[in-house]
Amino acid sequence: MKIVYEDLQQVIAAHQKFLLGEPDGIRANLEEIDLYGRDMAGVNLKGANLRGANLKRSILWDANLEEANMESAAFKHAILQGANLRNSCLKGAGLKGVNLIGADLRGADLSGADLESAILQGAVYNEDTKWPEGFNPHAAGALLMERDPNQK
């Protein structure tokens, strides 16, 4: 289902209120919404539901998608450079040809995701990151971040 620009902006604004704990805030639910080619650079959708969304060719540069549910979402050729994807669910997501340069993938679940031709140079991950079976993040240019010994 497509969403018009104005409605998307209302969903994002309500989500910001939700994140701030305001009573009229609503968690963004963009499940199975067609967001093809949308420019959402810098958007804060922390904890949002984007399960099954079409984000092909979308611009999500520096977006905050921490703890978002993006299971089975389609990102083919999207730009997620510098995005915060910490602890997000990307199970079975289509990430073919996606730009993930410098993205934060610590704790993300990418099991079953299609990472063919994805660009991972400088993306960071940790021991909690789950990769597709047989995928070598180091060989793809991602950097393993050790756990901070002062962190519990």
pLDDT tens for residues 31-73?
999 999 999 999 999 999 999 999 999 999 999 999 999 999 9
Residue 151 has pLDDT above 70, yes or no: no
At 6 the pLDDT is 97
Give CA separation, 27 vs 18, 54, 76, 104, 135, in Å: 6, 19, 25, 22, 33
d(C-alpha 99, C-alpha 97), whole Å = 7
Taking the alpha carbons of 11, 5, 108, 149 in that order, is the dihedral positive or negative?
negative
Q: Taking residues 110-134, what's their average pLDDT?
A: 98
31-152 CATH choice from 2.70.98, 3.90.1640, 2.160.20, 1.10.3470: 2.160.20
Q: What is the mean pLDDT of residues 89-113?
A: 98
Please tell me the pTM assigned to this model. Answer: 0.94
Residue ranges per structural domain of the chain: 31-152
